Structure 1
Amino acid sequence: MSRIEKLQSKLQKMYIDAFLVTRGVNIEYLTGFSLPDGDGLLLVTQEQAVLITDQRYEIALKEFESTEVIGLMTGDYYGSLNELCQKLEITVLGFEKSISYQVYDLLDEIMTADLVPFKGTVERMRQIKSQDEIKNLRQSATLMSQGYEYVLSFIHAGMTERAVANRLDFWMKEHGATRSSFPTIVASGSNAAKPHATSSDKIISDGDIVILDFGYYVNGYTADMTRTFAIGPIDPELQDVYEIVNEARQQVIDHATSGIHGDQLDQFGRSLIEEAGYGDEFNHGMGHGIGLSVHELPATYGPATHDVKLQTNEVITVEPGIYIPELGGVRIEDDIVISHGKAEIITPASADLMIID
């Protein structure tokens, strides 16, 4: 069964005649056709799928091989949508709740069909990965692990954080990545105490600990990896913190299996950090889903995520961290594939503390 057919099979249970997809990433997931947000719509009925876009995509649609998707060229996406719904006698139209109020206001004004919002319909479909999707995520994670080794080969005291991020970006794209999935984080010294620092003009110094957090697309899918390393000898407390974080990471991975709840899995790592006296210094979730986007369902799993239950072939991150103001921080992040047995780590880069002389 194709992805569009899976969505069509849900319509009756959703009590709607058709479903409107507006998020570009969801349109790509369902059809394989790449369309940025705002450049078109996908209407899925029980019998067909119609991609509504404009003349800019005419050639691309002619080259697009699909037996399921019909292209409709128009300069008025929503006006044409309403006309199509009337023609197809669609009286109840589901739509993605993530649309802007501006778009909803327009739909509410012009549509003759009743409008029903749905949250996460396609996102839940994306949550479970096919073998091809997992293969693409493995390739992304492998290339990123190689990129990490590249950073270790050239980084030295005296470089700025931004210079390191820029060199990594060039290398990743030269070796097969299409683009980053978020701005690369290179956080050194006291900046490493900020969980979501940005790469800055700060000069990396001897004795700094450095957090490198990055994600890159390969074949449309992005891994997400973090490694922490040192430029020369670092404060002994940070060495101890590194071992605590690394053990927490491993404990979560060792217990990650299909059927476990998010809060339960989180506790295997968080409890170690709390017992070591750093509970207040770990101030984010343990991880999240990845795939076509760098943040997918589950959006997060942590102490309060009782309703998250991991399933086979989900791909999630494991990223415990400890952040000590003024001193620095440590975060180590791997990507894993959930199964009924032991989880597969797809980020092969070493998690040992690397010290750059």
Structure 2
Amino acid sequence: MTTRIERLQGRLAKLYLDAFLVTDPTNIYYLTGFHLLAGDGFLLVSTDRAIIVSDARYALALQEFDSDEVVAAISQDYYDDLNRICQTMKITVLGYESSLSYFLYDVLDEVMVADLVPFTNLIEKMRVVKDSTELAKLRRAADLHTAGFNYLLDQVQPGVSERHLANLLDFWMKEHGAIAAAFPTIIASGTNSAKPHATASDKLIADGDIVTVDFGYFVDGYTADMTRTFGVGSIDPELRDVYQIVNTARQAVIDQVKVGQRGDRLDAAGRSLIDEAGYGDEFNHGMGHGIGLAVHELPASYGPGTPDVKLVNNAVITVEPGIYIPELGGVRIEDDVVVTHGGPQVLTTAPTDLVIVGD
């Protein structure tokens, strides 16, 4: 089987490159399996070599790093050494990630003899298609999120704060195998739930609140991203109706997930239902995005203006329609879905029927 580094090496000649410089730590991990913090070195991939360069802090970890295709070097000046390596290997055209900071580009421009050529999302596009190992990790992550949500429901009662619930969920997830949160957990109750990116606050959960929980945690390097909305006690009848509209839209989008599907058409499958119900102005974000080693991978977003987004086999996307009514509350339901030739595979198994706590 061709390795990820070999896939990248096979592309270099077609891109008119002698080598490619990788500085993004997630991309380094994707290609090599080695964890390097941002700014702590780089990976250089030429047509026949792959070299990780870092400093003495990583010496032991690199000695223990078991790889048949990556060699390591310890440096006291990363980019002076990069220039020397490139000259030794007769690298005259060096590609780099366009996400590079201007400061680091300025350093490279100053020290490098090789010509520098930027590329956007070269490795990120490789990451879109997940292999069986990646899909298994994403499935485990999604299963943990379902279990975490079920745990959280048992902790909800009037008088407990959003922040306390977020802290309980964080502790439970990490105690049961999660490494870290992919983003600050959203627990938004009552009118706070009308803010799509509300953060957990000191607001106390009250009877009659609708509550949105949006969370993502890394499990073995890969993150799921799940949102559920539930009610506490007797909620406004309009919010019950809105919930059903959002849930129907979610399923309508999932039903249209297939290889080759355009992003705008996928979005329209759900957005049209929300528009027809009279809530088009209250749905103010995209329908979803890719996930994997990061919580936002390619496709970074798909919505009405994304005809160029085309779903590919074994990509993993979120489906997350929502309706947000100021001064009343909001509803969002989000699933993680694998795109396959045989149709969509939904990873998130938490029930999507409206749950009322305290009934």
TM-score range, shorter chain: over 0.9
Shift of 1:244: 0.2
1:188 aligns with: 189
1:81 aligns with: 82
2: CA distance, partners of 1:104 / 1:154: 49
1:277 aligns with: 278
Residue-by-residue CA offset, 1:64-84 (whole Å, 9 max, x unaligned): 100111101001111110110
2:344 aligns with: 343
Shift of 1:341: 2.4
1:96 aligns with: 97
Shift of 1:154: 1.2
2:329 aligns with: 328
1:330 aligned counterpart, secondary structure: strand
1:24 aligns with: 25
| Partner AA of 1:304 in structure 2 | G
1:43 aligned counterpart, secondary structure: strand
| Partner AA of 1:345 in structure 2 | V
Which stretches in structure 1 are left out of the alignment for 5+ residues? none
1:209 aligns with: 210
2: CA distance, partners of 1:186 / 1:324: 17
Shift of 1:144: 0.4
2: CA distance, partners of 1:129 / 1:66: 21
| Partner AA of 2:209 in structure 1 | D
| Partner AA of 1:188 in structure 2 | S
2: CA distance, partners of 1:2 / 1:340: 23
1:329 aligned counterpart, secondary structure: strand
1:66 aligned counterpart, secondary structure: coil
2:132 aligns with: 131
| Partner AA of 2:29 in structure 1 | E
| Partner AA of 2:88 in structure 1 | K
Scaled by the length of structure 2, the TM-score of the pair is 0.99
| Partner AA of 1:41 in structure 2 | F
Shift of 1:340: 1.4
2: CA distance, partners of 1:102 / 1:58: 26
1:165-314 alignment runs, 5 A limit: 165-314=166-315
1:46 aligns with: 47
Greater than 2 Å deviation, 4+ residue runs: none
| Partner AA of 1:347 in structure 2 | T
2:15 aligned counterpart, secondary structure: coil
2:163 aligned with 1:151 = no
1:107 aligned counterpart, secondary structure: helix
2: CA distance, partners of 1:324 / 1:347: 26
1:33 aligns with: 34
| Partner AA of 2:129 in structure 1 | I
1: CA distance, partners of 2:151 / 2:281: 34
1:106 aligned counterpart, secondary structure: helix
2: CA distance, partners of 1:23 / 1:300: 20
2: CA distance, partners of 1:6 / 1:290: 21
Aligned residues: 357
2: CA distance, partners of 1:184 / 1:230: 18
Which stretches in structure 2 are left out of the alignment for 5+ residues? none
| Partner AA of 1:306 in structure 2 | P
Shift of 1:233: 1.1
2: CA distance, partners of 1:157 / 1:21: 50
2: CA distance, partners of 1:224 / 1:101: 31
1: CA distance, partners of 2:87 / 2:163: 54
2:253 aligned counterpart, secondary structure: helix
| Partner AA of 2:309 in structure 1 | V
1:145 aligned counterpart, secondary structure: helix
Scaled by the length of structure 1, the TM-score of the pair is 0.99
2: CA distance, partners of 1:182 / 1:39: 23
2:3 aligns with: 2
| Partner AA of 1:276 in structure 2 | A
1:202 aligned counterpart, secondary structure: coil
1: CA distance, partners of 2:41 / 2:8: 19
Residue-by-residue CA offset, 1:176-218 (whole Å, 9 max, x unaligned): 1111110100000010000100011111111000000000111
| Partner AA of 1:320 in structure 2 | P
2:30 aligned counterpart, secondary structure: helix
